[in-house]
Amino acid sequence: MTWDVLSIIGTIAFAVSGAIVAMEEEYDILGVYILGIVTAFGGGAIRNLLIGVPVSALWEQGLFFQFALLSITSVFLFPTNLLRHWQRWGNFFDAIGLSAFAIQGAIYAVNMGHPISAVIVAAVLTGIGGGIIRDLLAGRKPIVLRAEIYAVWAILAGLIIGLKIASSPWELYTLFALITALRVLSYTFSWKLPARRLGAH
């Protein structure tokens, strides 16, 4: 049950996030749907490739595709005067998607009996993969590589689940709320990892 709920939350959040970015880039309706779908399912596809799950498993997720399509349609039909606030909401939906999918990816790897290193990798790839693909297709620098602390929260989720610190449904939902809140705080207060820049500015 927890798995399904997190999958639905992540799918909706990243589908909305992709649709928002597509509309910010002034894509047409087809572009909005494509970017929304790719964002929602890209991370899972990358994870499946690396931990040995057939990519065709994606096509068994008919219900999630329906959720994604419904979410994208809702965003596309949203009143124009409310769309001006999308930048703030886009970040929030991205934080929800990151958290839900990082936890879901970690659970997936644990259930397959993989070691903690693979659990962390699965959490990171599932959590950030869709966002990276979204940003690249939109012609942007991936947020995970340049902005506030992002992938660290997916690593934290993978570590906590891999070490069996959180395993019951209420612990996983608490972790979901925690990771989402940490991501929101990191972009609200511009928490950044140390960076070294080369070249004159």
Look at residue 3 in the predicted model and tell me its pLDDT.
74
Of 30, 49, 18, the closest CA to residue 137 belongs to 18
Token pair in block for residue 177: 């709320």
The DSSP line for 6-48 is: HHHHHHHHHHHHHHHHHHHTT--HHHHHHHHHHHHHHHHHHHH
Tens of pLDDT, residue by residue over 115-147, are 999 999 999 999 999 989 999 999 998 877 776
Q: pLDDT band for position 86 (50/70/90)?
A: low
Task: Tell me which H or E stretch contains 137.
Answer: helix 116-137
pTM summary value: 0.87
- The rounded distance, in Å, linking the Cα atoms of 99 and 166 is 14
Average pLDDT (174-195) is 92
- The rounded distance, in Å, linking the Cα atoms of 52 and 38 is 20
Look at residue 193 in the predicted model and tell me its pLDDT.
84
Tens of pLDDT, residue by residue over 6-60, are 889 999 999 999 998 998 899 999 999 999 999 999 988 888 887 777 777 777 7
